Amino acid sequence: MTLDVVTLLIIAIAIELIGALFLFLFLCSARGSIDPRSKRSVLIWAISHVLVGTALFALALRGIAPIWLSMILGNAILLLGADLRRVALSVFWGRKSYWQFSAVPGLVWVALCLTTPVTTNYTGVLVYIHTSLTLIWIATSIVSFACNDDRLRTGNWLAVNIFAAALIHSYVVVTALAPQILALQPYVGLNSAGGYLAAMAVTLLATVVLVFAMVMEREKHRYQQLAHTDPLTGLANRRSFMEQNEGWLQKNNGTGFAVIMVDLDHFKTVNDIHGHATGDRVLQIAANTLRAHAPRGAIIGRMGGEEFAIFLPGCTVKDAWAFTETIRERFPAEVERLETARIQATLSAGYHHDMAGDCTLSNALRQADRALYDAKNSGRNRVYYSRRVQAATPAVSKVPLSNKALSPAILRPDA
């Protein structure tokens, strides 16, 4: 069956409007289950499909409807709807959308129609409209490629599809200019509106499918991340902490590492006196302090309640002590900045250093937990390291403590 231009145009209109309908239905059915950025992006995509479908319908009325409606307004809406897809992708990736510029190509087109006889020059119409669409699709493709921080495969495929649309529109420009420019004539083999519409219908359908797939892939990644992340602090949860570090230990046999257990002192009192909201804020401050001072490659997890664990790959005993003492000193200072309540909060820590292959993660955590227990029993606001490390590396106890008279930190408990 041969599809004529009218049939192909109807197919393109149907793809746009049905795509918009499905996107609106998707928004209604998944209102509370997708993140706000995806929600706003899908809404803009749906509006874009409505505008482009409406514009194509207006263009299909050429020769029936007045020229101001079919050509002037139709093309202006087409350019606006097309650039809204760049805006939708920018919102999806959390980038500044510069939505104010979406109306510029359409307004320039209207201004040209009002000040010049461009509507009587069919070549001029093709060149302006399709050059604008080419630039819009290239910009949209770049946004999809460059801003894909989540490394979604569907995002990359969408960028490829949009770039293919840009090539199609650029070919229309070349076809329109070929009769006037001799050098372009060898590159023109298809001079068919039907071929253009067929190619565009394919890319439009692919766009609708890929937008759905991209949102679903993002949601899948989000739920996977939630399953491995503590929602209050954004740190790895216990399961994720264990999985990541066990993987490192298996791959780095013979390399030094340290495990640090941290517990906030008298945290129950903070909750009882100042309330759970303030307690949650103190937990977040503790997490931020650990993140801010952790060396590169460190893995931090919230093990439950007010207890945290830090895994330091490829470090020495001195490195582990220096980091632990830093967070012990910094945490009270950060908590004092709280504007809602005056809290004097401290933390205690215990750490264990070993070599990958000589000690399992579970055993290292037990050793660090025992050191933490010693620190708590010795008065809190202290840093202890495991007795196994004391016996193996007694020279570490000679590391000087800055301002020792004021610091309650202890490198090891007294024998």
Interval 395-412: pLDDT, tens: 333 333 333 323 334 443
Q: What is the pLDDT of residues 91-150, one digit of tens each?
A: 999 999 898 899 999 999 999 988 888 767 878 888 899 999 999 999 999 999 999 988
Q: For residue 14, what are the domain limits?
A: 5-227
How many C-beta atoms lie closer than 10 Å to residue 298's C-beta? 17
**Cβ neighbour number for residue 19 with a 10 Å cutoff:** 24
In a domain, 407, yes or no: no
Q: Within a domain: residue 233?
A: no
- On whether both 150 and 215 belong to a single domain, the answer is yes
Both 284 and 166 in one domain: the answer is no
Beta-carbon-side half-sphere exposure of residue 293 (alpha carbons within 13 Å): 20
Residues 52 and 153 in one domain: yes
Residues 46 and 97 in one domain: yes
| Domain presence at residue 403 | no
Domain presence at residue 352 = yes
pTM of the predicted protein model: 0.66
Same domain, 187 and 296: no
- Give a yes or no: residue 145 inside a domain: yes
Residue 181 Rama label (left phi>0; alpha psi -120 to 50; beta)? beta
Q: Encoding tokens for residue 370?
A: 């025992």
Among residues 306, 334, 336, 339, the one annotated as catalytic is: 306
Using only C-alpha atoms, the chain has a radius of gyration, in whole angstroms, of: 31
322 in any annotated domain: yes
Q: Do 217 and 325 share a structural domain? A: no
The tens-digit pLDDT sequence of the chain (415 residues) is 445 567 778 888 999 999 999 999 988 887 767 888 889 999 999 999 999 999 999 988 888 888 888 889 999 999 999 999 999 999 999 999 898 899 999 999 999 988 888 767 878 888 899 999 999 999 999 999 999 988 899 999 999 999 999 999 888 888 777 665 544 444 444 445 667 778 888 998 999 999 999 998 988 888 877 788 898 999 999 999 999 899 899 898 889 999 999 999 999 998 888 888 999 999 999 999 999 999 999 999 999 999 999 999 999 888 999 999 999 999 999 998 887 667 889 999 999 999 988 889 999 999 999 999 999 999 999 999 886 555 444 433 333 333 332 333 444 333 3
Residue 254 and residue 390 in one domain? yes
Residues 76, 166 within the same domain: yes
If asked whether residues 221 and 282 sit together in one domain, one would say no
**Total domains, the chain:** 2
Query: Is 409 within a domain?
Result: no
CATH classification at residue 19: 1.20.1070
In terms of domains, do 371 and 242 share one?
yes
**3-state helix, strand and coil shares in percent for the chain, rounded to the nearest 5:** 65, 10, 25
> The domain that contains 326 carries what CATH number?
3.30.70.270
Residues 274 and 173 reside in one and the same domain? no
The reply to whether 306 belongs to the active site is yes
Distance (Å, whole) CA 396 – CA 315? 14
**Do both 159 and 77 map to the same domain?**
yes
Q: Would 176 be classed as within a structural domain?
A: yes
Within a 10 A sphere around the Cβ of 164, how many other Cβ atoms?
A: 16
